[in-house]
Structure 1
């Protein structure tokens, strides 16, 4: 157990280390129009597979692991592998009718709300509904959002629903560009994704 903890402690800074602060600027009309164009182009993008690394922290404990996220319309499957805060692999799946969390000690859990289920089982406060939009570099429909942009004219930071979402790296080879790293924080909680691959259906 101590060895596992040391491995987590050694690996976590690689994912959660602070990046060099980006030059940020408030959105002018041109930048906001470009972002609106990105959002319109990706508005109906709801069939994809995302793979990468995930780091989570609740201010006291932290952990990392690899993950895959399959979005099929309103239904999703999120698979986590590695020494996360739970200490186990797990699979979260669901849709409008509820969610199922599998792979944890004690058997499967079911509930009407995935976010509440994750908090109950793992102690994680993860904004799953908003994250579905944020991971695409979009504003969620949960309320007002404030954007600032980098010198690449892409979003550098998004503030929404009490969370601050930083975008330190983009894949500009795609049209429209997609985030390669998504760091969301609402102290004491942090969720950081490093994206290895996107696959659209």
Structure 2
């Protein structure tokens, strides 16, 4: 990892803490009914149980907090994807600094850190090497929407459902993704999460979603 890059991102994020979601207090929902409801959600999202996390087109705007056991911080995240492309923009309103990650079939480009743009074939590896943050980008496209990532790439998922039959917790690829609060989807689509926390060991990504968008907005 580049010490300068890691320090720059830590300064960007303001060294804020990353609070965990409180443990759910409500009883779990019926797993069979939850699984049936989840299949309908996946269809409405344009995802099958082995769907592509990079499709279809959607976007979100959220407050984000990151931690990796050595440093942590918070800022604003804009995530948009569609037509085989992914764009992430992270910004810290106080410092007015930010970085952007663009991913397409040709690879990934990270801009905004000291030393100029960096390119690599693997987006998650590029982000980890340049900043020290271990973020499962390929799976997050599913997890952020309350969907399991394809088992062929990430292994089987274990899903715990809330009494309303929406996912409360997804465990997959060594990560635990927890959800608290849901909102109606864009354009009368399925419900989408409002608070999301993904963790594996000391690595944590927490989002509070301010807005979801769909293909046509």
Does the pair score TM above 0.5?
yes
Residue 36 of structure 1 pairs with residue 51 of structure 2: no
How far apart in 1 are the matches of 2:177 and 2:97?
Answer: 27
Deviations 1:29-84 (A, max 9, x none): 2211011110111125521221011110001210000011110132011000018x
Residue 106 of structure 1 pairs with residue 106 of structure 2: no
| Partner in structure 2 of residue 72 of structure 1 | 82
Alignment CA distance shift 1:112-1:24 (3 Å)? farther
**Larger deviation, residues 21-30 vs 91-100:** 21-30
**Larger deviation, residues 125-134 vs 89-98:** 89-98
Deviations 1:114-133 (A, max 9, x none): 00100110011000000000
**Larger deviation, residues 171-180 vs 161-170:** 171-180
SS of 2:145's partner is coil
Structure 2 unaligned residues grouped into runs of 5+: 1-9, 48-54
TM-score between both structures, scaled by the size of structure 1: 0.87
Which structure dedicates a bigger proportion of its chain to strand?
A: 1
SS of 1:89's partner is strand
- Aligned residues of 1:24 and 1:149 also touching (Cα < 8 A): no
How far apart in 2 are the matches of 1:51 and 1:104?
Answer: 21
What are the residue-to-residue correspondences of 1:181-200 with 2, within 5 Å?
Answer: 181-200=195-214
How far apart in 2 are the matches of 1:35 and 1:147?
Answer: 10
TM-score between both structures, scaled by the size of structure 2: 0.81
- Aligned residues of 1:156 and 1:168 also touching (Cα < 8 A): yes
Residue 62 of structure 1 pairs with residue 72 of structure 2: yes
* TM-superposed deviation, 1:188: 0.8
How far apart in 1 are the matches of 2:81 and 2:137?
Answer: 12
* TM-superposed deviation, 1:18: 3.5
- Aligned residues of 2:89 and 2:100 also touching (Cα < 8 A): yes
- Aligned residues of 1:22 and 1:150 also touching (Cα < 8 A): no
Residue 136 of structure 1 pairs with residue 173 of structure 2: no
| Partner in structure 1 of residue 26 of structure 2 | 23
- Aligned residues of 2:29 and 2:161 also touching (Cα < 8 A): yes
* TM-superposed deviation, 1:24: 4.4
Alignment CA distance shift 1:66-1:53 (3 Å)? same
Deviations 1:158-177 (A, max 9, x none): 00000000001111465310
How far apart in 2 are the matches of 1:22 and 1:88?
Answer: 38
Structure 1 unaligned residues grouped into runs of 5+: none
